[in-house]
Chain A
Amino acid sequence: MFDFLEGYDLLGAFWVTVQLTLLSAAGSLVWGTVLAAMRVGPVPLMRGFGTAYVNFVRNIPLTVIILFTSLGLFQALSISLGGQRFETINFRLAVLGLVAYTAAFVCEAIRSGINTVPVGQAEAARALGLNFTQVLTLVVLPQAFRAVVGPLTNVLIALTKNTTVAAAIGVAEAALLMKEMIENEAQLLLISAVFAFGFVCLTLPTGLILGWVGKKVAVKR
């Protein structure tokens, strides 16, 4: 029944999906945190940049962003992110696009987490003589992160599925292989089901594990 799978590197394709997801998740977590820090910071220019970035980027379709990294950054501006082979370049460009896009959502999730931390705690931290960065990194953000494990899990699951857009610029991840298989084999429904199942295998444990983590690290007030 599953003969049609022979000759295709299904695991390899999903491994690329996992790599795209993990690298983009790490990148967008860092960049999203920086954006959130800008948005709550005292410097008007940074606040303005953070706000503009989030509102601009999250309203552009991901496909457009991913295509832009290939057509705009690579082909027009020759930005190859240090890659030599075509595959490496496209993979890195896809990660860049996913980070740029996902960070906007991470930023807003973290900002909502910052709002769960009572203002008085930041005041107490300032009253001890901590500077803005210290107040943020030692007192506010650690509590904000614990409060938004749930929302960040949603972002991570969305990101896992969004990696399929990287197929648009030829990154050999799961969705690209699916397209190829659908073209070659006569098992449309089965192929789709196999790939759907593959993604559920990635995202379901993510949700369960992080749901447990979220409860575990929640700050008691």
Chain B
Amino acid sequence: MTEVSMAKEEVASTDDLVVLKSVNKHFGALHVLQDIELTIARGEVVVVIGPSGSGKSTLCRTINRLETIDSGTITIDGKPLPQEGKELARLRADVGMVFQSFNLFAHKTVLENVILGQVKVRRADKQKAEQRARELLDRVGVGAQADKYPAQLSGGQQQRVAIARALAMDPKVMLFDEPTSALDPEMINEVLEVMQQLARDGMTMVVVTHEMGFARSAANRVVFMADGRIVEEAAPDQFFSNPRSDRARDFLSKILHH
């Protein structure tokens, strides 16, 4: 185990997977992303936190260009994000995304949801894709639901299917856009546990969340955003026990006292 994590750190220090350089974005008059500089290394788990409207979700969505940016550059594994088209589709296949509202394809069964991308994008053999899909569904603990439709599942189960669907593409990095915010409290943990396991397995992850417990236990680094800027970046221990900025102290005092 130690060897693995050491090897991971070595790789991490030399290999930047996602790099954002002076990224700016406006929604009309609102400057949602202001000169964002962020580098995510291979195998790193970065948790983005901050108050509502601080631009966290937007930041997450720019990484696979679901939101376009006005200026700056974003590179993934050394390649800049291409314009809309074939190149972009290919890149998106390498970037897994999990949404707040699950977004499973409602007309397809759970199994078909996980098979679709493999067959249509990766051109995988149907049988192999199904086998892989069943493995992944077992891994996230919803193997028994494979033949049901999304609407028949609980929120927590749907979100785990969504994670399996993203994993089926063998992504280089996984983006989580508030994956537990739409869940009933008793279902949050089942999703977080799957994410913890992923983090332990060495997946590169960018997680926008309000789950401070997850940030503490799984993150290599916490990025705190407010008003469209990255205000503070630190290791979780340091950030939660000793935040440097007033803005972060204020934020933490509001959420950690209950």
Contact = CB atoms under 8 A, between A and B. Distances in A.
A129 B165 CA distance: 12
Chain A contact residues, majority secondary structure = helix
A125 B64 CA distance: 12
Contacts of B105: 121, 124-125, 139, 143
A129 B106 contact: no
A211 interface: no
Chain B binding site: helix, strand, loop or mixed by DSSP? mixed
Contacts of A142: 107
Contact of B97 (A124, A139, A219, A221): A124
B40 interface: no
By CB atoms of chain A within 10 A, which of B95, B96, B116 has the most?
B116
A85 interface: no
A121 B95 contact: no
Contact of B84 (A42, A124, A220): A42
Given A124-B105, A128-B92, A128-B117, A220 B149 contact: yes
A126 B66 CA distance: 8
B121 A123 contact: no
B93 A128 contact: yes
Chain B interface: which size bin? Answer: 20 to 34
A120 B101 CA distance: 8
B84 A127 contact: no
B204 to A, nearest CB: 16
Contacts of B92: 126-129
B93 A120 contact: no
B86 A131 contact: yes
A55 B101 CA distance: 36
A177 B238 CA distance: 89
A188 interface: no
A143 B103 CA distance: 13
Contacts of B162: 124
29 contacts: A42-B84, A118-B101, A118-B103, A120-B99, A121-B104, A123-B103, A124-B97, A124-B99, A126-B66, A127-B64, A127-B92, A128-B92, A128-B93, A128-B117, A128-B121, A128-B166, A129-B89, A129-B91, A129-B93, A129-B94, A129-B117, A129-B121, A129-B169, A130-B117, A130-B120, A131-B89, A143-B106, A146-B107, A219-B106
